[in-house]
Amino acid sequence: MSGLYVTVETTIPDDRIDLFHRLYEDAFGPLRAKAIARQVLRRDEFHAEMVDPRVHKHVARLGSGEPIGVTTLTRHLDTVPWISPDYFAARYPEHAARDAIYYAGLTLVAPSARQGAAFHAMIDSIVQVLVAERAAVGWDICSYNNTRFSFADSIRAMLDEQANVEVAVEDSQIYYVAQFTGDGATRGD
pTM of the model: 0.86
4, pLDDT greater than 70: yes
The distance from CA 113 to its chain's CA centroid, rounded to whole angstroms, is 17
- Tens of pLDDT, residue by residue over 125-168, are 999 999 999 999 999 887 877 787 777 778 888 888 888 889 88
Q: Is residue 173 one of the residues assigned to a domain?
A: no
Q: Is residue 25 one of the residues assigned to a domain?
A: yes
Q: Is residue 140 one of the residues assigned to a domain?
A: yes
Look at the chain and report how many structural domains it folds into: 1
Helix, strand, coil shares, percent, the chain, to 5: 45, 15, 40
Q: The domain spanning residue 115 has which CATH number?
A: 3.40.630.30
Q: Is residue 184 one of the residues assigned to a domain?
A: no
User: pLDDT value at position 189?
Assistant: 59
Query: Are 170 and 138 a contacting pair, CB within 8 Å?
Result: yes
Q: Is residue 17 one of the residues assigned to a domain?
A: yes
Q: Is residue 41 one of the residues assigned to a domain?
A: yes
Query: Containing H/E element for 58?
Result: strand 55-61
Query: Are 51 and 71 a contacting pair, CB within 8 Å?
Result: no
CA distance 81 to 79: 6
Q: Is residue 179 one of the residues assigned to a domain?
A: no
- Tens of pLDDT, residue by residue over 30-81, are 888 888 887 889 999 999 999 999 999 999 999 999 999 999 999 999 999 9
Q: Which domain holds residue 76?
A: 5-162
Q: Is residue 23 one of the residues assigned to a domain?
A: yes
